[in-house]
Structure 1
Amino acid sequence: MREQSYKRLNNSQPNRIRGGETKVMRKLLNAFLVFALVLTMVTPAFAASTTEDLGDYAYAVNRLSALKVLTGNGDGTFKVDSTITRAEFAAMAVRLLGLEAVAKASAGATPFKDGVADWASGYVNVAVQQGIVTGYADGRFGEKDPVTQAQALAMLVRALGYDPAVAKEGWPTNYIVKAIELGLTDGVDNVSAYAPAKRGDVFKFADNALFVDKYVQTGTFNGQPTYAVAVGKTLLTDNLKVAKKTGIVVGSKAVNFSDKELLDGQVAIDVLKADGTVDSTVVFNANDTDAATLLGHKVSFFANDDDLVIVEDGSNTVVTVPASDIDTVNTTTYAFKYDLDGIAKTLDITGAELVFNGQKDTLNSVSKVEPDSGNVVLVDNDADKVYDFVFTTDYDTFLVQKVWVEDKQIDTTSGTSLDLSDENYTVVIKKDGKEIGLSDLNKYDVIEVQVGADATNTLYTINVLDSTVDGKIEEVVTSSKVVIGGTTYSVAADETTGLTFDNSVLGKEGTFYLDNDGKIFEFVAKAVENNADNYAYVKDTKDTSDTFAGTKGLQYKLWLTDGTTKVFDVASKVVYTDSVTTATYTLKDDFVVLNSVKDKMVKYELNAEGQVDSLEVLNPDAAATALIYDKDASKLGGYVVNSNTVVYFYDNDAVDPYTGDTGVFTGADLKDAESYTTVAYGVSSTKYAEVVFISDASFATPSSDAQLIVVDKVTSVLNADGDTVNKVYGFVDGKAVTVLAENGVVVSAARGDVIEVTYNSKGEIDSVPVVNYDASAKTGTKVDAKSDTTIVVGGFAYNLADTVYVYNYNTTDDVVTATTYASIKSEEQTLTNYSKVYVHTNTKGLVDLIVIDNE
């Protein structure tokens, strides 16, 4: 049974799945509160395929590339700051004339005595035939010579037919004057006749030439040809057969507001007359342009018949309003009110077309333009201050719990299930801008879900976010702000963490998941992360079903690898694996199987609620066998067993083998040459055992040698079992250390005290510390530390060990620091008066530790 299925459709309008009337204060565009901009001939909706920073040359490069006048270098760059050769420019000029095919057919010998490379010969021959290039006076072409600005402008003037209108004398000024007159140098600073031209500047010259009316022969007079400017006849329209028009994009296959039927890759454009009225609606092939992304925008476009070549965003007023800034929307008066930095604004959306979450919709409900999250983008494409298109983005953020690929379902940590199985659903999942499949989603992925619907289809757009913070809550600023890792984070209004953000969350550690606004919306505690390779022994199971309610429930009592025993609820769906099969079982249908794992060694996983949602029942490598432990070889019989191996010890003689003399240890605790009755699990091909069960055991006794700690402070923390224990900060052997006390062991010590402790096998203080030195007791003490081998304290002489650790407790500053014996020996006074001095002697009677209580 799928619970809380994600159905947000009601008369084609997504419903809210969150309770209450509180709006979610999220902003899809984090950098802006409101973005309002009049766009006039902005970046074209096409781009050359390059990773190069084109700077001011981007516009020219993009347009010339779309027209296939530029092909770029083989490495994907255009090298706009480099020079361009005469051969390269001749090729570009020939392409501007639309004579690429002729050039390919004209490859071969050229009229120049220095020869031309094979790839360039056809272009040069056509350029000569068209009167674009003439070569040098000495008969050379100079294919590799860099083109000067004067040469490039001269070739373009000739390509446009203006050579007859150029003064016959005064090279190169005559051509530069004509080029400036025609506007070829617009956008290029510092035109220089003889300097090698930068490629980027040449590209701008050529881009300007596209729109210049050509100079053509109209007849003859007195035997001489006559010429005139052919208005409207340009390289773009006449040679490249591309018409420039203005229109409004009104449809694509995904969202279509036209009456035209559109296929994939097609767009519908309302072509405008000069007076701004619609002439006709035309279907175009979008090709490599981004025309479909400019739905509702006025555009300038260049088309070859029904093929779009270039699409440029025109004069549109575009206002983007985050959901949190929307005040009210009246769908009767069509007044859209929002807040801009505390100033109320109202926009008119009368007659506007609506796109809701990527689908064509109808502006008949306030909720469609008052999203709980995301934003609303409004477009005025005719400058009449009435907004013609409204685009609403409304999303919900979830944390993936489980993906059921065959069922086409996503379970989330909030308990919501996204059922994507309907054949009328279109599902688009994207990560890092690339489309992925349902099987590519992983547990604990953050997903942002948008749902839109038209009359026939529901569109699910799912974006995978990379928004997590690992750490612990260090400070609670307010009920909606906390500090993690030194950074302050806000808590989302619709968070599903299950936490109450007051002082009770201090110290909560794990992964905090952020929504698109960088706010905390979900949390997975570190304690929920799986235990030491997820191994556990199932000590018992318990049926917790509610017969009256008709629900199934199950609990596992697990003996964990840290030695503790904990009870976990079993999730409603469990990925179950044994030696025969791997399957997804449910409590409802497979209760008997899931309840049959008592006394089994398993590997398990927990979901965000701490429920077992994955269980692998392990088979022993072999039957229980008596094996001898070889400590030097770290081998128990034929198994490799070392400090990384988890060792479960159970007492066969105990009435309850799991409450008697039992425990969880590591391979390092086994005694050399001892015999153990052993069952091994998780055995690798090299015979390394991850877990062993043993009985009749003897263990190496952990070292009980006392250790001295010079105390800095003692605090209280939660240990791995959730018990409140003391944590000691201090110094051992000159180094700062921290150590936990065993549950129930109280460390009563203050800064500057010296305590003597012992440890259990986990490295925890297991005995009430003996205070060897109480820093609060003050007595005057004289110290003579002049000798390298002897120190005199209070009139008593002590011999020094080879290594002496010295600590200074400054009661004025209330700080303990590690120092050196040399630092006190270097004092000029033979006798120095301290508040108190503590010396510790080792088993040989030599001083190895000194604490100086110094005010």
Structure 2
Amino acid sequence: MRKRCICLCIIFCMMILYPFSFAASQSIYLSEKEEALLAFFNVINEDTDYAETLTRGQFAQMLSNVISVAPIETLADSSIVINDIEPSSSIYLPVTVLYAFKIAFGDENGNFNPNEPISYEHAAIMIVRTLGINENLVEPLQFLRHLNIHISIANVNSLTIGEGASLIYNMLNAKIDFSNRFDGDVSVFGSGDYLERRLGMKRVSGVVNYAAGNHLYADENGYNDKIKINDKIYDSEINEIDLIGRYVEGYYKTEKDKDTLLYLYVDRTDEIKINAKYLLEVKNNSLSYLLDLHEQKERKVNLKNGFIAVYNGMPVKSSDLFGENLLLPDTGSITLVDNNHDSVYDVVLVDSYTDGIVGAIDTAGNSIFIDGLEYKLNDYDNVVIKNSADEVIDLNSIKQDSVASVGESLDGKLLTIIVSDSVVSGMITEISEEGVCIDNTLYHIKDNIKDELKIGKLGKFYLNYDNVIIKARFTGEEYVIKAFLIDAEVFSEGFSEKLKIKAYMETDKIEILDVSENVIIDGISYKEKSPAEMRNALLSDDGSFRQIILLTFASDMTIRDIDTPKTTDSEDSVYHLYKFPRSDQAAYTYSGKSLNGVCTIDENTTIFFIPYDQDESNMCIIPVNKMSSDQYGYRQMKGAYAVSKESLVADAVVLTGEFAYPFLTSKCYACIVENTYTTLDDSGETVLGLELSNYNRKHFTMLADSERVYGRTQDGSFKEVEIGDVIVYGDNNAVIKNRNLDILYDCSEGTFMDEYSSMTLGGMLKMEAGYVYSMKDNALQLASKNPLEGLTKEDMEALTIYFAENANVFVYDEKTKGISKIRESNIDEIRTYIQSGIGDKVVCYFSGGAIKAIFVYRLNI
């Protein structure tokens, strides 16, 4: 790019001919900073030869690139005729643009002479005109000196490309200030530098606090969304992944109340990149490392007290990187940045190639401690520890009796501990007493990090051997609104259409207006799409609006689905069930319709009634059952069911089939009739005359506790039944074989109405730790009270479900044709069962990161 060598004899001649030019012995030298800005304006590129003679056409091209804030075609004036430039020529548009702005000029014959070298005087006139000054009122060369634009020129009659580029760089940075007048009157167009006064580009400089695109916010083009400099947030299209902590200089433009970075220069002239394996020690704010691995040459550098630390693109406390020992991975690299150029490094950037937890190890008793976090040695199955030589340390060697002796050799060593599935990246969507949800998946947390957690925070979350979050690394924050979406209306404002979202939060009604600027729904940007398309994206398949999380960052908005409930099989069931805040007096709107009935059953149960036709003869029933594990205080059921008002009966505990059935409250058996809560008496006859025979007979619901069992009998009534009674099950009959069934679930249509899973299994089953019930020969039977015995091959072929009991998981052993037990935490062994072909499909139910049940069906036995 630079060709700076010029023959000494030519230099000598030039010095004689042009004694005023002290720099005639060299081509113009452009610094990295100067080159970066000129390249941004397409004045130069990597193939530019600075020593080449600059023609008038080339200089016109350079200037037109700078002033072309709009597409160059829109700036050209077709009425301008230049005799010696054909319209098909590549420089026709640039030169025409400069003529239109009265910057370029030709000779008396109407020729521009694009191929002739440009003189310093003519270049100075064009620059003065570009700045908006009438050159007849000033002496151009004197004016350039006044503004510090002037450079030393080797030949005033013929500039080089490097000299022309240097003039343009100085023009871009010229400070126009007429408070100190010089000889000659001028026309004052304002003060400030060229970029701000003429192009609206404002300067910015400082330390980058945050660059959102490093990990989580890059768009489809790989661009960062946000950059924060000196605590001010800018939109950005600058694709840099290591900006945090660095001193930057650049320009931004303010449009529509949004500051967008257009250009950013990062000074990388004073930094050191070190392979992590070359690091020796950090002590008293100094760092030592090897210059050469073979010759063992060492170098020591000073670190600033309170330096900025960045770990894999996320700001962290400096104490998280360095303590008494160097807490860095043995793979990857570390970059030291000296922003102030004072030989004291004030930024430490770490790029780690492992997602493991890294740190110095201490041993005590039956545990090891990495960075002060405890790992029990008797739970080592999914833990791998490596030393700096990438050798795996056998944890068996430091268990129990040998822990003291071996521990002495491990204490203070740099180790990497890798836990199976140990790192989760995402956003905190819920926080409850049970733990924290990362992207709607629940994890338990250590007490010592609870204060760090906040809904909407994004980052990496480190888990221990028991899938408990023990450490969090956060990136930027977003403001999160959990909302029940009521409507999304497209409205007109002047000649444009915008989108208005109406939603309910946990407390009051909110309206979010004008979200049309940049909306991302389910990861898809709607920036170039219509408000109507945005509205359609917020609808579920059945036409109802989804429950959503609204995330706002600056002027952008991201809309994520919380949970799209599944529709029921019934054609009339057009409503979905969503989480509602608990308030007996609250007036809610559901899909644009008023919730005109709120019936509180007891402290655990509330039912909402929704009319879905004009005469309100048909209702949609929404039962909400209180659960302590839910952030809203309620458990979300799987569907809402439509029934006629004349046969209004609801099951607020379990919903099955196409209709809602009687429910079992915490106190007694009951149902809802005419919006009124009514209990069933012992005979079950009080409300049973309410057209129960019209219920859909494809399903049946059974309610039971330790004393009574209710079921629908063959005559259509719903009453208490005894062991041996026959109840209706689909088109068949089922014989009651056991009383202590609690709640029974109907899986005949694949609607497994509980939080475990959704499976097409067939049969009636009750699931509880240690117990399995299944349908066999149209009879409901207790398959086993003890999962370790009693299950036959025939039981397995129909349905196989095993439950965790006292931290055990039971699976069918093909070899022994019996049940074998595996450890709860040993995920790899479960994978082995899957891969060995024992089960075509295995579904594991996790609660707080621990396996509570494993479902195996379609066995190849």
TM-score, length-scaled by structure 1: 0.34
TM-score, normalization: structure 2? 0.33
Higher RCO (Cα < 8 Å, 6 or more apart): 1
